[in-house]
Structure 1
Amino acid sequence: MDWDALFGLDHALELVVRGTAVYWFLFLLFRLVLRRDVGALGIADVLLIVLIADASQNAMAGEYETISDGFVLVGTIAGWNVLMDWVSYRFPATRRLLEPGPLPLVRDGRIQQRNMRRELVTRDELMAQLRQHGIEKLSQVKLATMENDGSISVIRADDGDADEAPAGGAQKTF
């Protein structure tokens, strides 16, 4: 068995550049396009899972010259994910660029049509989410926002308390 062929680092720099390019392309794509489809996982988490799954599959299946090439690519992708989390935590101004903020869908009982169109949320989808929070009419809503994970949080107009999903039922996220 040729151990050098199995564990050599023939294309390490190229893989770092490729991993970086693919990470940023997919991060921006998920950040700008797929906000409501991601669910409870963060965008960077989904991206990390997808990229590492593909990179490690290629390393295992022999698509790369060496196993070490696969390790370098997976390490590069994981490194970017850790760095993005650290930068978001350490620098609040950067967090606003990397993570979407809450987006109002209903304010004082009135639907924010522009934001609904932006996120492609229909009135029926919104009303279904409000019913899960025990709200029957828009007039009962002080504020309903789409959070950065795609879930909708609701503040009732009557008592001002945040309403939570009913016990025993899973909170549906967009």
Structure 2
Amino acid sequence: MHVIFDGWAGIGRTIVAGILGYLALVVFLRVSGKRTLSKMNAFDLVVTVALGSTLATIVLSHDVSLAEGTAAYAVLIAMQFVIAWLSVRFPAISRLVKSEPQLLVYQGRLLEDAMHRERVVEAEVLSALRQQGIASLAAGTAVVLETDGSFTVISDPDLRPPSVLRDVAGADQAVPAVSKEA
């Protein structure tokens, strides 16, 4: 019967560890800044998920103390800070931890090679267009798969270089005049 109820001590520990673990996480996140929970790329997502997993472990595992859990928070947040700091200063580190946005549609034309590489099907692109209120593929000037996996739809028919596509993979083939410097 311990599966259903194992006593009040376990429930009390869960409540106290949950409150203190949560408060410790909030403090760490406030001190570390907004970038810690950004969703810019896969690396950031891993850190966010790991923080949540650590909180769950603090709350539910009797084998992990609050001090050990907060030490784990500190390590994860410090590593995220170091990697973010290095990636801003060293392009090689940035390329290592961040993916590149990918152009999937340009001038109403599906870029099928890019879609295959990114494992995106036409239905997902059409869904992204519909979500932006765009009624036809031809009306979508560009669709970009962002580094966080979301889609950005650009419906400006006057999209001209230099443009927001300058750092997007595939834009230089689809839009030969896209400037990398602007």
Q: TM-score, normalised by structure 1?
A: 0.56
Provide the residue aligned with 1:6 in structure 2: none
**Conserved? CA contact 1:104–1:145, under 8 Å:** yes
- Number of aligned residue pairs: give it: 122
Structure 1 position 104 matched with structure 2 position 71: no
Task: Give, in angstroms, the shift of residue 157 of structure 1.
Answer: 6.2
Residue 52 of structure 1 aligns with which residue?
A: 51
In 1, Cα distance between equivalents of 2:112 and 2:157: 23
- Shift of the 126–57 alpha-carbon distance from structure 1 to 2, 3 Å rule, reads closer
Partner amino acid, structure 2, of 1:41: K
Larger Rg computed on CA atoms: 2
Q: Secondary structure at the match of 1:144?
A: strand
Q: Write the distance in 1 (CA, Å) between the matches of 2:133 and 2:58.
A: 49
Structure 2 counterpart of 1:147, which letter? E
Q: 1:41 aligns to what?
A: 39
- The alpha carbon displacement at 1:136 in A equals 2.8
Task: Judge conservation of contact 2:104–2:110 (CA < 8 Å) in 1.
Answer: yes
The unaligned stretches of length 5 or more in structure 1 are 1-39, 163-174
Counterpart position of 1:149: 148
Q: CA–CA distance in 1 between the matches of 2:156 and 2:149?
A: 22
Whole-angstrom distance in 2 between the partners of 1:68 and 1:101: 38
Query: Post-superposition, which runs of at least 4 consecutive aligned residues in structure 1 deviate over 6 A?
Result: none
Structure 2's unaligned 5+ residue stretches are 1-37, 164-182
SS in structure 2 opposite 1:73?
Answer: helix
Over residues 48-70 of structure 1, what are the superposed CA-to-partner deviations in whole Å (9 max), with x where a residue is unaligned?
23222333444453314x54333
The alignment yields a C-alpha RMSD, in angstroms, of 2.8
**1:142–1:156 contact (8 Å) kept in structure 2:** yes
C-alpha contact (below 8 Å) 1:105/1:115 kept by paired residues: yes
- Cα deviation for residue 126 of structure 1 reads 0.8
Q: TM-score, normalised by structure 2?
A: 0.54
Quote the sequence identity (%): 28
